[in-house]
Amino acid sequence: MISSKLKNTVFSLVLLVSGPSGLWAGPVVIKFATLAPEGSAWMNTMKDLNQELKKETQGQVSFKIYAGGVAGDEKDVLRKIRIGEMQAGGFTGLGLGEIAPKVRILDSPWLFKNVLEVDFIRKKFHARFEKAFLKGGFVFLGWSDLGFVHFFSQRPFSNLDALRKDKIWIWEGDPIAEAAFKVLGINPIPLSELDVMTSLQTGMIDTVYGPPLAVTALQWFTKTQYIDPVSLAYASGAVLVSKKIFDQLNPSQQKILKKVSLKYLTRLNALARKDNDEALRALQKQGLTLSPNPDPQTMKLYKVLGQKAREALVGKLYSQKFLDEVQNSLKTFRQHHGRSTHTG
């Protein structure tokens, strides 16, 4: 028979090496998937983040990164996270909307004029966004901006009538893009992001959209010739980790993961914004043409169409009350900071 004293000693040792769930503890490897390709600013930042995370946790917590869409598109990654094959991801608005629909307000067409407005709204409504992610089963680690979205085409952007004749790609299953194209009177061709390059090469599509840096990284620009100077929207992204694996970390590890992630993702956002501006100039140096700015009447039309598109998503992604709160907050911000021109 084992003595009572020996039993207590064994029990104490079990507690010492057990995780918060009472299971045998060991290094936690978080499988992380992203569409960002190797060599991109996003991937370089994630690798630096991972190195510091391993150092700060003495090798007990780290990411195993699957880049370039090798784990599938965002819906594939979400499915894999929910069944435990993956535990984290870098998501664009499409993936974020699958988890927390109201967050898609940030990708609304023609809502933001500059990054100051983006930062203001994200900060003001941060607690609600974070709560929405938690409700969807994820812990928010930080924003990972993609930037202002532009059309890239094989023909010049003269007016909306000309754009409607193009064979325009739409990210399959994206309600924000669907709403924007509907008010523009465009019938787009739905495809997974992973099928865009092949479709450009075969002529199935001739017009795409995205931030200049992403279009450069994905090489889509090689099959286009013109850039629309007016941005369609601001594309927000975020890094999220499954609450299930986050809860397996002890409080100290959770704190380190959040701290290190915030540090590097804040740095990434600043870099991405700078690189997007540089990418837009670089693409023009490589032969792409920036179409002339539209006339004031067209700009007014964009404003009306943007409001119409946002209203169309009430009850689908967010409530009328939430939309009003965001738009009224933005209106107040502009009154205090001036009505600056669009910088996207």
User: Residue 339 — pLDDT band, cuts 50, 70, 90?
Assistant: low
User: Residue 126 — pLDDT band, cuts 50, 70, 90?
Assistant: very high
Written as one letter, the residue type at 218 is L
Q: What gap in Å lies between CA 263 and CA 273, rounded to an integer?
A: 16
pTM: 0.85
Fold for the domain defined by 148-234+289-337: D-Maltodextrin-Binding Protein; domain 2 (3.40.190)
pLDDT confidence of residue 159: 77
Nearby residues of 301 by Cβ (< 8 Å), 6 or more positions away: 160
Mean pLDDT of the chain: 89
**Domain ranges for the chain:** 28-146+235-280, 148-234+289-337
Each residue's pLDDT tens digit, 213-242: 999 989 999 999 999 999 999 999 999 999
Residues β-bridged to residue 147: 235
The first and second tokens of residue 148, run together, are: 């202002």
Q: What gap in Å lies between CA 265 and CA 258, rounded to an integer?
A: 10
Question: Does the pLDDT at position 282 exceed 90?
Answer: yes
**β-pair type (189-191, 61-66):** unpaired
pLDDT confidence of residue 188: 96
| H/E run at residue 239 | strand 238-242
Residue 50 main-chain phi, psi, to 5 deg: -65, -40
| H/E run at residue 107 | none
Q: Do domains 28-146+235-280 and 148-234+289-337 have the same CATH topology?
A: yes
Residue whose entry in the numeric block shows the structure tokens 């532009």: 150
Written as one letter, the residue type at 35 is L
CATH code reported for the domain at 28-146+235-280? 3.40.190.170
Q: From 25, 90, 97, 96, select the one nearest 59 (Cα to Cα).
A: 25
